[in-house]
Amino acid sequence: MERSEIPIREAAVEDAAAIARLLHDFNLEFEAETPGVEELTRHAERMLGAGEMTVLLAGEPPLGLALLRFRSSVWTEKREAYLQEFYVVPARRGEGIGEALLEAAIERCREEGAAWVELNTAESDVAARSLYRKLGFTNEEGPDGAAMLYYEREL
């Protein structure tokens, strides 16, 4: 499938169940806890309705998603973008869906006036890391090229 043939659209509240299913499947694939499709659907409905997240969906029915969060920046008048979740169903990987979806997400960040977009991923997710590098993402900072690290703590 050519990238130009992959339909990508912004999700609406009505897409909450499809988003929830993709997020649930993503967590199951990577053996992470998931609150389940029903609860994820409620969260997606609330957050989409409140404008707290932007979700781009690839394909019909949706075969992948890019979930973006935008916030003000202390460093610039522009906004910051966070690619919180990025997923393509396993059976459809390698068809250009992920690249088209990530390019659309980057463009959406530009449209929102973001100065940059950041994300995190597992070191073991080699395919995603390769795609991120291909589209210009880096995990190095400063002139010495030291690796940037992501830390998290549950509260």
Q: What's the pLDDT at 4?
A: 61
| CA separation for the pair 31, 73 (Å, rounded) | 33
| CA separation for the pair 99, 106 (Å, rounded) | 11
With contact defined as beta carbons under 8 Å apart, do 141 and 148 qualify?
yes
With contact defined as beta carbons under 8 Å apart, do 23 and 34 qualify?
yes
Q: What's the pLDDT at 2?
A: 58
The length of the chain in residues reads 155
Q: What's the pLDDT at 149?
A: 83
Contacts 24+ apart (CB under 8 A), 128-132: 128/86, 128/98, 131/98, 131/99, 131/102, 132/102
With contact defined as beta carbons under 8 Å apart, do 98 and 64 qualify?
yes
Which tokens is 104 given? 């659309």
Question: What 3-state class would DSSP assign to 61?
Answer: coil
Query: In this structure, how many other beta carbons lie within 10 angstroms of the beta carbon of residue 25?
Result: 15
Give me the tens of pLDDT residue by residue for the chain, a chain 155 residues long.
555 689 999 999 999 999 999 999 999 998 889 999 999 999 999 999 999 999 999 999 999 999 999 999 999 999 999 999 999 999 999 999 999 999 999 999 999 999 999 999 988 889 999 999 999 999 988 888 888 888 887 89
φ, ψ at 51 (rounded to 5°): 70, 25
Q: Quick one: how far is CA 28 from the chain centroid?
A: 17
